Chains A and B, each alone.
Chain A
Amino acid sequence: MDHIAELAGKDPLSRRYFMEMTAKLTLGLSVGVPFLPRTFQAQSGAKAKNLIYIYLAGGMTHLDTFDPKKNRDVMADTDMIDTNVDNMKFGMHLKELSKQADKLAVINSMTSTNGAHEQGEYIMRTGYEKRATIVHPTIGPWAQTLLGKRGDILPDSVLIGQSTSNAGFMDPSFSPLPIADPSGGVPNTTLIVEGERFDRRMEMAQKLGQQFADKFKYTGPKSYVEYYTQANRLLKSDALTAFDISNESNRGDYGENRLGQGCLLARKLVESGVRVVEVVSGGWDMHLDVSGGTASRLPELDVAVATLLKDLESRGLLESTIVAIGTEFGRTPDINMNAGRDHYPAAYSCVLAGGGIKGGTVYGETDGGGKKVKANPVKPEDFLATIGYGLGLNMEETVYSPTQRPFTFADKGKPVTDLFA
Chain B
Amino acid sequence: MNPRISLFSLGALLAVAGSCFLPFAEARTWTSTDGKPLQAIFLGIEGESLKFRLQNGNEIVVPKDRFIKADQEAAERLAKIGDDSFTKASARQIDTMLAGNLKKNGFNSFNEPLPDDLFVRRVYLDILGRIPTREEFLAFAENARPDKREALIDELLLSPGFSSNMFNYFADMYRLHGSDFDNGVRMDPYIQWWKDQLEANRPYHEIVTDMLTAQGNVGQNPASGFLLRDTGMEFDAFANFGQVMLGIDISCAQCHDHPFDEWTQGDFYEMAAFFGNTQRSLGYRPASAMMGAASVEMPNAPAGWRDNFMKWAETTKGIVPRDQNSNQFRFFVAALGWNITDNETLETVLPHDFIGQGGKPNEVAQPRTLIGDAAKLGGKTRRQAIADWLTAPANPRFSLVIANRMWGRAFGRAIVEPVNDLSEDELKRASQPEVLRYLESEMRRVNYDLREFMRILYNTRAYQSIATFEEPDLTKPYYFAGPVLRRMRAEQAWDSMMLLAHGVEIDKKTGGDGSFYKKILNIDFTTASNDDVWRHYEMWQSLRGGQSAMAMASESGDDYSPVLVNDTELRASELPQPAPAASMLDTFGQSDRRITDDHNYDGSVPQVLALMNGTVTQQLTGISSKIVADLEALDGPDDKVRGVFFTLLNRFPTKDELDLGTGMIEDFGDEGISDLAWALMNGPEFLFIQ
Q: How many angstroms between the C-alpha atoms of A295 and B97 in the bound complex?
A: 61
| Chain B nearest Cβ from A276, distance in angstroms | 16
Q: Which residues of A contact B417 (CB under 8 A)?
A: 132
Binds B, one of A41-49, A61-69, A209-217, A385-393: A209-217
A70 sits at the interface (CB 8 A): no
Report which of A180, A193, A220, A235 forms a contact with B603, defined as CB distance below 8 A.
Answer: A220
Residue A421 at the chain B interface, CB threshold 8 Å: no
Which residue of chain B is the closest to A337 with respect to CB atoms?
A: B285
- Residues in chain A near residue B621, CB distance under 8 A: 192
> What separation, in Å, do the CA atoms of A224 and B607 have in the docked complex?
9
Q: Do A3 and B582 have beta carbons less than 8 Å apart?
A: no
Contact A227 B685 (CB under 8 A): no
Stretch from A22-30, A73-81, A109-117 that touches the partner? A109-117
A189 and B426 alpha carbons, distance in the complex (Å): 45
Least Cβ–Cβ distance between A327 and chain B, in angstroms: 16
Is the beta-carbon distance between B606 and A187 smaller than 8 angstroms? yes
Cα distance A70–B680 in the bound complex, in angstroms: 65
Q: Which of A200-208, A299-307, A350-358 lies on the face that meets chain B?
A: A200-208
**Among B426, B586, B675, contact of A200 (Cβ-Cβ < 8 Å):** B675
Tell me the complex Cα distance, A187–B614, Å: 8
B252/A114 in contact, CB under 8 A: yes
Bound Cα distance from A337 to B232, whole angstroms: 10
A1-55 contacts to B (CB < 8 Å)? 1-4, 6-7
Interface check B233, CB cutoff 8 A: yes
A338:B603 contact, CB within 8 angstroms: no
Q: Which A residues lie within 8 Å of B656 (CB)? A: 7
A247 interface residue (CB < 8 Å to B): no
Stretch from B361-369, B509-517, B538-546, B659-667 forming part of the interface with A? B659-667
* B469-A216 in contact (CB<8A): yes
| Closest chain A CB from B185 CB (angstroms) | 12
Residue A100 lies at the interface, judged by CB distance under 8 Å to chain B: no
A187 — which chain B residues lie within 8 A by C-beta? 582, 606, 609-610, 614
| Interface locus among B88-96, B215-223, B470-478 | B470-478
Contact of B608 among A114, A116, A204, A228 (CB under 8 A): A228
Complex Cα gap A328–B58 (Å): 67
- A113 with B255, Cβ < 8 A, contacts A4-B660, A205-B683 known: yes
- Contact of A216 with B485 at beta-carbon distance under 8 Å, contacts A227-B605, A287-B233, A342-B287 already known: yes
A237 at the A/B interface (Cβ < 8 Å)? no
In the complex, which of the residues A115, A223, A336 contacts B255, with contact meaning CB atoms closer than 8 Å? A115
Q: Is B204 an interface residue (CB 8 A)?
A: no
Contact flags B213-240 to A (C-beta < 8 A → 1, else 0) = 0000000000000000000110010010
Binding stretch for chain B, among A84-92, A159-167, A309-317, A406-414? A159-167
Residues of chain A within 8 A (CB-CB) of B534 are none
Q: Is A220 within 8 A of B469, CB to CB?
A: no
* A-B contact sample (20 more), CB < 8 A, given A6-B659, A113-B256: A4-B664, A117-B595, A119-B252, A132-B417, A132-B418, A164-B600, A165-B602, A179-B606, A180-B582, A187-B609, A188-B613, A192-B617, A201-B678, A204-B660, A208-B680, A209-B685, A215-B469, A218-B471, A227-B603, A338-B287
The interface of chain B, by Cβ under 8 A from chain A, is: 232-233, 236, 239, 251-252, 254-256, 259, 284-285, 287, 290, 294, 352-353, 417-418, 421, 426, 467, 469-471, 473-475, 484-485, 487, 581-582, 586-587, 589, 594-595, 600-610, 612-614, 617-618, 621-622, 656-657, 659-660, 662-664, 667, 671, 675-676, 678-680, 682-685, 687-688, 690
